[in-house]
Every structure is written in C-alpha cells, then in structure tokens.
Amino acid sequence: KVLFSLIYNNLTTLTFLLIKRKKMNSKQAKNLSIFDFLKSQGINPKHTKGNKAFYVSPFRSETKASFNVDVDKNIWYDYGTGEGGRIIDLVTKMFNISVSQALNMLLNTNISNNNHFFSFYQQNSNTAIKIQHIQPIQNKALIQYLTIRKIPLNIAKTYLKEVYYNTNNKKYFALGFKNDKGGHELRNKYFKGSTSPKHYTSIKNNATSLNIFEGFFDFLTALAYFKTVKPGNDTIILNSLAFLDKIIPKLKSYKRINLYFDNDKAGQKAVELIIVNHSLVINQAAKIYPNHKDFNEYYKTQILPSAQ
C-alpha cells in the first residue's frame, strides 16, 4: 500500500542527486519544473485553470496575475511584457544573471524534474481519467490540503480515499469521493475533476429530513461544523447542479429539506427550484454563511459555534 507514496516522496530527491553529481547543462535544466522552482522561491499561483498556473509577475509590482506557467509544457509567459520561455530564460531574467550562473543556481536548488512519477499538480479536467490504485488517505500532500480546508482527518477518512490515476500518459493522485454509480470526484490543491460515470452520492438513514449539498467539501464541512462523523438526516451530495433535476422526485418522501448550496446565481436558482417542488425548505446557506461563497469558505474563516 505504501509503494506509490514511497516512490513519489523519493523520486524528487533521487533526480536532484543524480543531476548534481555532474555539471548541469541546459538540456537537463529544461526538464526541471518551473512550478517547483517558483515555489522554492516562495512564489505561489494566485489561481489555476486547466494545466495553467497564474501568478503575480515576479518581474514587477502588480495586483493582477499576468504571468502564467503551462505545467504540462513546462514553459512560462508574461502577458505584461510578451516574454516567455523555459526555466533558464526565467532564472536569467529574474536574477539578471548569465546562463552559466543560472545553471549553477539550479544545480544547487532542490527542485524536481517536471515528469513526476505521481503528480500533485494540475491537469486538464476534460481528459479521460483511468484509476490505477485506491487506498486509505496517507499522502502528506493530501493531508496538508485537508488541513488547509479545515476538514478533520477522521471525517475525511470516513468518506474519502487516496486515488492514483492516469491521464494524458501522466500519473497523478488526489482525494476521491465515490458516487452512487462507482465514479469518483477527484480533488487536490491544483485539480478539480471526476471519473466516469459521474453521478450524485446519497447517504440513507431512514430519516424524515433530507440534506442536499452541491459538493462534497461542503458536506464534510457540515459534519465538522456540527461536530459529527455521520449525518443524522438522509443526505444527497449532488457533485454537480446538473443532477438537481434527477433528485426532484425524491423530495416528496421527506417532510423537510435542508439546502447547503453556494451563494451564487446558480445556487440561488437551485434553491428556487427546490422551493417550487416542496412545502418545507430551509436554506441553510442564508442562515449559516450568508456572506460567504460556500460553507467551506465560511468554515475556514470563522470561529465555529457549538453543534446544535
């Protein structure tokens, strides 16, 4: 079970040591991850989209993220200046040094080769995903991500797995949340996607009330918020608002519906649709986190009350 994690944790160090045994050349340097190099300099992306990470430019003061890195191609581009290139071009420009000086700097910086055995970085969410291995959560990067989202590990381990998968001939890992048809929602710090078949997830407790969540992180947040590992009510996690129509016929089986949708236009439309189809609907988003986009955003920034 630990084989995948051991390989991932040791590959970066092994690659670095093998390169360091001899003088680095530009061809070797080209394969070093720009993403990792920026991270080693304390520079993290403001946001990500697909296979691209967007940063505030390291070359000037700005508030808009006009500098991006294509993680798959391992190239950078600065929209502010129209410049771009490989890692050597980036290092020479950032530090105003020669190519030989840049190579020496990279030789003494512990950053990984861009071709990770298992990657935590982003990939295109629209490409086919093939799961290779599923195990209990133990990877440090995923546990750190859960900590950032403030999800207790005991709750996470009850509902999530550590999933290793292939896409575009590259190997990745993420947290996996299983749906009722056997597909998985996949999440890590840099990626949001799913495997086929995509569907909603239901948890039955023979209750007379039904909780409905848009995504699984808000479901896990609710458990943490109310200090419980299992919901007292029946629960449906949609995994996408596209499945809302499919659960409408189920509403008549319940006396009360509790909604935990996002506070955006799509979430409001979903609330309105449920209200039209049931006589007793409680919009918990408006009660608990009216000034935040979703339950998890609220949970990360607020001092939590006791469970009710």
Query: How does pLDDT run across 170-220, given as a tens digit for each residue?
Result: 788 999 999 999 999 999 887 888 998 999 999 999 999 999 999 999 999
H/E run at residue 18: helix 3-20
Smallest CA-to-CA distance from 51 within 72, 37, 24 is with: 72
Judged on CB neighbours under 10 Å (0-12, 13-18, 19+), 187 is buried
* pLDDT value of position 114: 57
* Axis crossing angle, helix 99-107 with helix 87-95, rounded to the nearest 10: 100
Altogether, the residues listed in the chain come to a count of 308
* pLDDT value of position 182: 96
* pLDDT value of position 17: 45
* pLDDT value of position 308: 34
User: Which residues pair with residue 257 across a beta bridge?
Assistant: 210, 281
Helices (H), 171-294: 216-225, 244-247, 265-277, 284-288
Q: CA 183 to CA 181: how far, in whole Å?
A: 6
What is the pLDDT of the chain when averaged over all its residues? 85
Q: In sequence order, what E strands does the chain have?
A: 47-49, 52-55, 67-70, 75-78, 83-85, 130-135, 160-167, 170-178, 184-188, 191-194, 201-203, 209-213, 234-237, 256-260, 281-283
* pLDDT value of position 36: 86
* pLDDT value of position 203: 98
* pLDDT value of position 193: 85
With a pLDDT cut of 90, the percent of the chain lying above it is 56
Q: Which pair of structure tokens corresponds to residue 226?
A: 């109310």
H/E run at residue 15: helix 3-20
* pLDDT value of position 80: 81
Contact 71, 60 (CB under 8 A): no
Taking 70 as the pLDDT cut, the residues of the chain under it are 1-23, 110-127, 303-308
